[in-house]
Amino acid sequence: MRSSPDRHGVTVLIPADPNLAWWLLVVTMVAVILACALSGAPLSNLAIGPRAYAWSVVDAATRRGEAFFWFIWILLSVALIAFVAALVVTYAVIATPYR
């Protein structure tokens, strides 16, 4: 991690580790693949396009019950949050100079 002084002169850590961004992307991919595999959506829908496949994953999870739907929804939410965090960390790596 990098460190930088804040406005009060205290040195704080900046979570700008490129390895962290890669691990967050790995978490994103594992969560998406796990949600797609567990939902039971047919892979033939992937040929139509990613948006259609995402809706088929949600539809398949809905057919399997409410508790299962929320489990798949939580997996997809974790994937989205990890992806956004990876983008923020990547921007921090690019934007902050070494100190």
Residues 72, 73, 77, CA angle at the centre, nearest 5°? 120
Q: Coil, strand, or helix at residue 64?
A: coil
20 — pLDDT class (breaks 50, 70, 90): confident
Q: What pLDDT shows up at residue 83?
A: 94
CA distance 94 to 57: 35
CA distance 44 to 80: 24
Question: Which class for 50: exposed (0-12), middle (13-18), buried (19 or more C-beta within 10 A)?
Answer: exposed
Q: Coil, strand, or helix at residue 16?
A: coil
Cα distances (Å, whole numbers) of residue 86 to 5, 28, 80:
23, 9, 10
Q: What pLDDT shows up at residue 14?
A: 65
Q: What pLDDT shows up at residue 90?
A: 84
Q: What pLDDT shows up at residue 51?
A: 85
Q: What is the mean pLDDT of the chain?
A: 84
Residue 77 has pLDDT above 90, yes or no: yes
12 forms beta bridges with 4
44 — pLDDT class (breaks 50, 70, 90): confident
